[in-house]
Amino acid sequence: MKQTIIFTLLLLAFTNLEAAADAVAGKSKSAVCAACHGTDGNSTTSVWPSLAGQGEHYLAKQMTDFRDGKRKDTAMSPMAIALSDQDIADLAAYYTSLSATTGTTKQQYVELGSKIYTGGVTGILACAACHGPNGAGLAAAGFPKVSGQQIQYTIKQLNNFKDGSRANGNNTMMIDVAAKMTDEQIEAVANYLAGLH
């Protein structure tokens, strides 16, 4: 009797587990995503983010937040609403497996962008502290990869953190940092990140 109970409990536990993330399944589910994020996860439009090589945990959190209304965007929120947890896991695994393309930084943004990113300025922490020296992010902590990201997308996100319309971070760090940034600093950092690798 005791063995039957243990077997039943184990069977129930395994039945309730989601299947592991499947990048191959994610690829087939990504067809609709390609219009904005590119067929290889590298967006060709400055307003849409590139997802290739992004951290799996970060991608899953963002898609879940869009689906659950914790992060809002007129284009993404409706796309995410029908995603299951398994869809999200598969898509995150797929985009993480892809290689990101690298961009360039216009010379006029290198000095200020580098200063803010690598060392910070008065009242603004260095971006590299959380996003790494080359912008690869810290996947284990859920801090996103920012290198090679689309310029207008980055500007929009920093402004969204600044005005509080985006508040789905793990803490208030990005809101606090962005609130202290000038438009010139935001533009410099966004352009600097485009060529960081």
Q: Where are the domains of the chain?
A: 20-97, 107-195
Low-confidence residues in the chain, pLDDT < 50: 1, 4-17
Residues 107 and 36: beta-carbon distance below 8 Å: no
For residue 170, the model assigns a pLDDT of 83
- CATH number, domain 20-97, options 1.10.760.10, 3.40.640.10, 3.40.50.300, 3.40.190.10: 1.10.760.10
- The pLDDT, as a whole number, for residue 130 is 96
Q: What are the backbone angles phi and psi of residue 133, rounded to the nearest 5°? A: -60, -30
Domains 20-97 and 107-195 share a fold: yes
- Per the CB < 8 A criterion, the answer to whether 131 and 137 are in contact is yes
What is the residue whose two structure tokens read 């689906």? Answer: 67
Tokens of 68: 């659950």
pTM listed for this prediction: 0.88
Token pair recorded at residue 130: 């959380």
pLDDT at position 197: 87
The pLDDT value recorded for residue 11 is 41
Domain with residues 107-195, CATH architecture = Orthogonal Bundle (1.10)
How far is the CA of 171 from the CAs of 36, 183, 190, in angstroms?
Answer: 28, 23, 21
Residue-wise pLDDT for 141-154, tens only, equals 999 999 999 999 99
